[in-house]
Structures are given as C-alpha cells and as structure tokens.
Structure 1
Amino acid sequence: MRVRDLVKRYRNTEHNAVDGVSFEVPEGELFCLLGPNGAGKTTIVSILTTTLNATSGEVRVAGHDLTRPHLVRRNVGIVFQEPSLDMNLTAEENIRLHAILYGLYPWRPSWRLMPADYRTQVRELGEILGLDGQLSRRVRTLSGGTRRKLEIIRALLHRPRVLFLDEPTAGLDPRSRHDLWAYLRQVRHRHGTTVLLTTHYLEEAEAANTVCVLARGRVIEYGSPAAIKDRHTRPELVLDARDRAGLRRELLALGLTVADGEPLRVRVDPSGAQRVVRALRTELTHLQMVQPTLEQTYLLLLERAR
C-alpha cells in the first residue's frame, strides 16, 4: 500500500481534514494509525477503502490505483468503526449475503444448502471468536461485542490481501480481544495479509511494525514503536530511600531533574544509570530502570502538537 500527499477537504471548511499525508505499508505488515478524535484516521481509512473520494493525492492499495475502485474492493476487507450489519437477518445470513456478493459461493436459500466449504469456514471463524452458538440468532438480539466479532468474520471471509480495522476491538472484553488478535496473527502469518489498524488501545499499537501518529490531519511522527520511543523519551530510573529528602538533594546536585511524586524518578540514558547509582551515598530501598511506554510517548507528541 502506498499513499502520497493525500489531501481531503470537506465542503465549506477552512482546513484540510487530511493534510498531505504520506506513508507506505509493505505486504504482510501490521500498520497502525494513531491520533485523537478528529485527527483524520477514519477519513484516511474511508478513502483507502474507496467509500470517500480524496481531494488530491496518489494512493495504491493491493497494487491497484483508487481510480479502479472495483479492483481495490475485491482485495480488501473492512471493519468500520460504525456497525454495518443488517439487524433483521441472522448472524449467519449476514455472512452468507457477504459471501454471495463477493462471488465466493452460489446463492442458496438456507444454511444447510450452502456448500460444505462455506459451512466449514464459517464454523471455524465462529469457534475462534466464540460465535459458533449464536450464528442462528438475529443480529438485533446480539450484544455490541458479538456484533463486532460478526463484522470481523464477514471481513475475513474472502481472505483479503489488505484488512482495514477501524477500532476493531471496541466493545470487546479482554478475553475476546486476546482471541481476536491471536487469530489476526494467524491470518497474517498464513496468508501474508497486510493489516491497517486504527485503535485507542496503545498496547495494540505496540505490536505494529510501523506506527503513524496523526494530529489535525498531519503526520507528526512515523516509524516503529521502538524508534518513536527512542526519539522522544528516555528510560526512567526509579529510586527510593528512607531518607527521601536526602536522596532528592543528591540527585539534584548531580544535575538531574527529579519528577514529582513518590518514589523519585529521573530520566537518564541507560549508560549513565550506573554512574548515577555509584555516586549516591544515601542508602537505597528501591532501584528500578523503567522503559518508556508508547502511550507515554504518544501523549508527549500530542502535547507538543497543540
């Protein structure tokens, strides 16, 4: 997937919703778009999946230009942020309709008359996501989390080359989230599926090969989670002592900035941590080197972008 200078401006607005965004996603990668509400994530996904026209820019998805949307659509699977299920059909009927529209299987009026390959595939997906006992229920009777799982099954049915997941685990309990990501890892490894993810769960973004951080429609950071953290944050040395005031004075005398709170925290390069500890005379009761999280780095980037 390749995006070059993508711009989207809605009518009667003064600013671009997406403002010159560029990125590339190699085949088989997990790529994550991060950003607060209104940063442009869903707009970008809508453009890449051909449900919204760009104002300008060059985009290729699964080897196809967006000017040939029918080819793009046959090669992508989509789980939108907002539900897109038929509430009056059963869960299985929603899946069957999707399979028929994609030309995967011939139309049959009931589950029992569908080809064995279809029934096997649906059962396997249902078992993985815990839906096997609910496929005959009407969608309007299902919980929000169960509906989400159903949308994911539907998006994966035709084994797309690129899978777009816009907040896919919203509404799922921790166990379901874990099971879903275990399955998505299988999909990527078995089929080389490229995954573009938007999420508010930073631990999900940590698993991405590449993260693109957006603010006000622009890219403010881009790279692997580890590289982004290294560029903007340093590990913290966490220390404590019975004589906490004395320890604080020593740290300040070494020219270190001590964060407010208990225990005491100072940011140092790993190579300098040993030097700091050796220089201290106060007896320590706690010593720990803590690596920065992507969430801490992400919040720092958003603060700088204000």
Structure 2
Amino acid sequence: MIAITGATGHLGRLVIADLLKAGTPAEQIVAVVRSAGKAEDLAAQGIDVRVADYGQRDALTAALTGVQRLLLISASEPGVRVPQHRNVVEAAVAAGVGYLAYTSLLRADTTQLNLAPEHKATEELIVASGLPYTFLRNGWYLENYTGDLAATIARGTIVGVAGDGRVSAAARADYAAAAAAVLLGSGFEGQILELGGDTSFTLAEQAAAFAAGAGTPVVYQQLTAPAYTEVLTGAGLPAGVAEFVVGIDQAIARGDLETDSHQLSQLIGRPTADPIEFFRAAAAQAVSAG
C-alpha cells in the first residue's frame, strides 16, 4: 500500500495520476485527505480514501494502518508545519509504515530562504524517527508565477527585488513524476535529492516570456526592499506577509533558488518543463480565457 498525504492538492493528485499510469492498482493507493467530499473522484476510481487532518495524530495513525510506503507532502500553512509534520511522522511510526518520502525544500539545511527552517526541522524529525526515508528537496514551482497571470498581464509590470538572480523552477508535473518514481523505485532510502529545473530564468526573462505569449508589453521593474514592501502593503497584504514575499525575492537575488543539479530530470527520465515555453503558453491561455 502506498499512501499520499494532501492527496486532493495539486501535487497529490498528480502523484496519484502518475502512480496509476505506472500500473499501480487503485486499491493499493491510499489518499489521506481532510475532506472526503473533495476526494469523491478519487474514490470513484477505486482509491482508498481515508480522512485525517495533519493536526489529528490518532486519525493519522488509523489512516496509515497497513501502509508500507508514504509520501508526506508538506503542509501548506507556514508557521505550523513542524507540529503538523511531527504528527504524521509519529503516526507513521505507530502504524508500522516502512518508508517515508518527504517533499522538502531545495538545500533545506543550508539555504537562507525564509521557508527553510520548517523543512529543515521536519527532516530532522524524520531522521530521528528511525524511518527509512528520502528527502525530495523540491525547488520552486513554475506555477508559483501563473496564479494571477491575467492581472500581471493587465498591469504590464512585474515588480520585485530579485535583480538578476536566477530561478531553477520546474512544473508541478515534474515534481510529481519524481515522487512517483521514488515511491515505486528502490535504492532511494537515505538519499537527499536536490530537485530543480534544467533551465533557470531571471524575472526579467520571465516578463519577456509573458509578453511574448500575451502579445502585449510586460516588463520587470527592480525596486528597493522598502519600496517593494510598500507596494505589497498598499495592495492589501499584511506587513508580515509582505516581508515574507520580499524575503523570497531577496533569496532569489542571492541565488538560493538556483541549482545546477539535474537530479530531477535524471529521476523522471526526461527534461523538465522549459520555463520560457511554459510562461509563454500560460500567458497565451490567460489572454484567451479573458
């Protein structure tokens, strides 16, 4: 039995689809979800849907009973991830799970990126648990930049403090394929995989790709950190969230989101999504949909 936490999220659904595509019987896949109602389509495929919140250790233990291999997809809410992940790890131990793969963060143990401490702490929890493990240290997702693309195109400007820093992002589908490959493969125990896209980009190059796809000017404008913070708070973001967003751009400027590792493409057996083509296609779709 293979279990996926956060199974109704974007990444979880893609991992399940890849497992099925690889020939894994649906009844051997456990989807651990917070809401059964959001997993009706998974249940209809014959997947074993089990309800357990990251905050409910006893429910998690019950949900993981009979599971041999587990993919812990990191919780989505910063600030509470460590106790939530601890619940999953302790439940996995109590349920007798034999192996755990965790979606961590690129260079989680050394990067200054503000997301890293919770991932580093989770990795330490997993190691201390004694569970055989693999850390899937995922880099940035291309989809992080396309959620509000129509508004970006309408403004014609991307602002930030990333400078000429480069991002080695990949598509969710790439990271999902990697997770499925590890869950179905062997010899990954104890490995730390630094995963990122084969090709990196600057935010200026990203803006040019959006412009090409949309057929309208889109440029990147470099700001100072205080000016960018003011833009974000002026748009309605709380000060703490604005500081967090500025910190991500500062991490890009430092090179924290760039990697020359090609472990991701090697693991999935194909090149990762080309970011410029991805952004062009997303912009064209946003324009046609609008």
Structure number with the higher strand fraction is: 1
Structure number with the higher helix fraction is: 2
User: Which structure's CA Rg is the greater one?
Assistant: 1
Q: Give the structure, 1 or 2, with the largest relative contact order (CA under 8 Å, sep 6 or more).
A: 1
TM-score (norm 2): 0.30
